[in-house]
Homo-oligomer: A and B are copies of this chain.
Amino acid sequence: MRGKGDLLLAQVARHIEDRIAHGRLLPGDRLPSERALAVQLGLSRNTVTAAYLRLEKQGTIRRVAHRGAFVCPSGPPDNPIEWSSKISRQAHLLDEPVLEMLAQSRLPNLRYRLSAGTPALSCFPLVPFRKAVNKILAKDAPLAMAIAPTEGQPRLRRAIAAYHQVESSHILVVAGAQEGIDLLARCLIEPGDRVIIDRPTFPGAIQALQAAGARLVEWDTAEWSIEALERLLIAYHPKLIFTMPTFHNPTARTMDEEQREKLLRLAARYQVPIIEDDVYSRTRLYGSVPPSLYRLDQHNVVIYLSTFSKVLAPGLRLGWIAAPPHMVKQLSLIKMRANLFTEGLSQLTLAELLENGTFDEHLARLRTTHTALQQIAVNALRQNFSAEELEFSLPRGGLYIWCRWRRAVDMEEVLLRAQQKGASVAPGRAFFAASPDENCFRICFTASSERDLPEAIRLLAEAFHSAE
């Protein structure tokens, strides 16, 4: 038979359990102190203490010395973690479909890959590269394997600085242009900042800028109208202009020198910095290339970004930023917490190839190969598509032909059919920050062999014509 003390104790415990059951006390909440509850209920403190002990024993609450008693989490103690509930809102914001689509286009079973942007790896200077790697491993293995400055291996920084005719302190080595964009976004963007970008533009830039919280405003590359840009500057007070003025990805358009000068003056006047994404200027096929914005800049308004991915090999993961030294310092602080520094052996090997002339010789060979491949792609496009159904650019540089299907079509369906046939192209909508032109797609003409390229385009045409 239970005594009166037991009954009171059970009532106190029930009182607490009820408050938990009705959500008045939540997991982690602190319970009233034993003394306070005793006074409130008109009971002895011992009774309340005994009730709390029982609640603790049954796992309902947890008493912590000097802090009080707390409601325990309610689930069974062995619950596996629901990881997806732990992902931050920011990470969820990632445009997963676009990224998935890009990942899709790298499926290993694709025979004809016109999607990703890769230079002709058949031109890769393997013999001099191998020689350079072995030279570095024979002479400088400790340097290649040790902790290195975040800003980059001094030898590679010097080689790149010499190209720009600046001091090494202006150069930050990055693991490809994408890392450069991400570091710049993390350094410069506050959530909500407006950024002017080209319309269309590189999907990786859209992703990295949006992930940093930027709201993107599109500047149409069909004109690159300076008047239109000024209207955007006035209307949006943007933080940055992100532009790709030379052999633009995906359109391959190039801004002329007069436009560049006007753009620079406007940026200086409105005090809006320019990030010049100059990934493609060394992929010239015909004609001449205007000086970079960075070179023309008189007002310290341009940060310059480029990579060896599109002219040597993407697998090397080597690019660079050219910027005022204090910005190089600030960006390298961010890189330090992102990944400390960039891989050593590839940096030193590339420095060797830049110094011994291999890189320049390679660029000349690459140009010949890319020019031939472009001609093959253009011929195949003309053979397989009529001018009434498809319009496309005839670029003087870059790796891409930007195409637009003139008739109504379910582009997703077409590209899926092409993939099933083993051919992939980059869907146009990935290149727009807003209101995409769904009828566009991008062909990379440099990543396939002379033999595969016409076949890939033939399969693509088949996919189009069967989907209509």
Contact = CB atoms under 8 A, between A and B. Distances in A.
Interface residues of A, number: 106
A64 B175 contact: no
Contacts of A436: none
Contacts of A317: 339-344
A134 interface: yes
Name the residue among A193, A265, A299 with the largest chain B CB count within 10 angstroms. A299
Name the residue among A80, A207, A208 with the largest chain B CB count within 10 angstroms. A80
A126 interface: yes
Given A134-B130, A315-B345, A269 B204 contact: no
A407 interface: no
A91 interface: yes
B73 A269 contact: yes
Contacts of A143: 315
A82 B326 CA distance: 11
Contact of A190 (B89, B186, B339): B89
Contact of A334 (B94, B129, B179, B190): B94
A42 interface: no
A82 B271 CA distance: 8
Nearest to A208: B337
A81 interface: yes
A313 B64 contact: no
Nearest to A83: B327
Contacts of A234: 28, 62, 64, 67, 70
Contacts of A314: 145-147, 340
A86 B273 contact: yes
Nearest to A270: B73
Given A77-B268, A299-B79, A315-B344, A91 B330 contact: yes
Interface in A81-106: 81-84, 86-91, 94, 96, 99, 102-103, 106
A179 B67 contact: no
**6 A-B pairs with least C-beta separation:** A315-B344, A145-B313, A80-B300, A145-B315, A179-B339, A207-B337
Interface of A: 28, 62, 64, 67, 70, 72-73, 75, 77-84, 86-91, 94, 96, 99, 102-103, 106, 116, 118, 121, 124, 126, 129-130, 133-134, 137, 141-150, 174-176, 178-179, 182, 186-190, 193, 204, 207-208, 211, 227, 230-231, 234-235, 237, 239-240, 265, 267-271, 273, 298-301, 313-317, 323-324, 326-327, 330, 333-334, 336-346
18 contacts: A73-B269, A80-B299, A82-B271, A86-B188, A87-B187, A90-B186, A90-B190, A91-B333, A96-B333, A118-B146, A121-B145, A130-B134, A143-B315, A146-B315, A175-B342, A207-B337, A317-B340, A345-B345
